[in-house]
Structure 1
Amino acid sequence: DRPGHDMRYAMNSTKLRTELGWQPQYTDNNGMREGLLATIKWYTENDDWWKPLKAEIEAKYAEQGQ
């Protein structure tokens, strides 16, 4: 790790809310669970999108011997 490296970055959505009118879709602990499940479902149902990208990245690492 480098000197002065921040170990945590706190996010602030004020600008998104005030300038764009954005509101979070999932807001409480149950919402966090629902959001995570929705994300997992999306990746499961859309593997034709991400699997080729993953394979390409893995091939590059293999070429470099990593």
Structure 2
Amino acid sequence: MLAAGAPDALTRVRPLLEAIGQRVWPFGDDPVRANAVKLAGNFMLAAAIESMAEASTLAQAHGVAAA
């Protein structure tokens, strides 16, 4: 769970965040930080999926059967 915001608010909601997530990663006072980390993670996943599709297409173009 990525979390950022006012320290008193994070302290208050931390038990809830811990209950619904496996771990809480605090990113300070600015909520934009947590959003940026989330978007960066989404970008890495999208890039990984795209690269797997490109590799699969290349292999199939050279006669390798799709799994």
- Please, what TM-score do these two structures have when normalized by structure 2? 0.31
Of Structure 1 and Structure 2, the greater strand share is in 2
Of Structure 1 and Structure 2, the greater helix share is in 2
Q: Which has the higher contact order (CA 8 A, sep 6+)?
A: 2
